[in-house]
């Protein structure tokens, strides 16, 4: 099985939930389809959806919820 990486297109803060009182978009072990939202990156109060470009299974996140991220940083890995 090949691992695919999901990278941040922007610098900002990564969120795994749409809101603090909501469940995570995806958790390790979940199935992921191309276009599924796996998180958000917030830049200056603007939220940008981070989507998967691959079908497969979310293996793990490489950043924690509310962690600062840099452009090109790997956020998650998907196995297909």
Quick one: pLDDT band at residue 10, thresholds 50, 70, 90? Answer: very high
Reported as a single tens digit per residue, the pLDDT across 16-68 is 999 999 999 999 999 999 999 999 999 999 999 999 999 999 999 999 999 99
pLDDT at 1 over 90: no
> Which residues partner with 37 through β-bridges?
51
- The answer to pTM > 0.75 is yes
Q: Which two tokens stand for residue 15?
A: 């969120």
CB atoms within 10 A of CB 24: 15
Domains annotated for the chain, with CATH where assigned, are 3-79 (2.40.50.100)
8 A C-beta contact, residue 38 and residue 5? no
Give, rounded to a whole angstrom, the gap between the first and last alpha carbons of the chain: 6
Rounded to an integer, the average pLDDT of 7-22 is 96
Phi, psi of 66 (to 5 degrees): 65, 20
Distance between CA atoms of residues 80 and 19, nearest Å? 29
């Amino acid at each position: 099985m090949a691992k695919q990486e999901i990278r941040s297109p922007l610098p900002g803060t990564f969120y795994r939930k749409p809101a603090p009182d909501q469940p995570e978009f995806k958790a390790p072990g979940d199935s992921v389809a191309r276009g599924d939202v796996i998180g958000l990156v917030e830049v200056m109060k603007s939220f940008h959806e981070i989507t998967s470009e691959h079908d497969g299974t979310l293996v793990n996140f490489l950043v924690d919820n509310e962690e600062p991220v840099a452009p090109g940083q790997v956020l998650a890995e998907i196995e297909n």
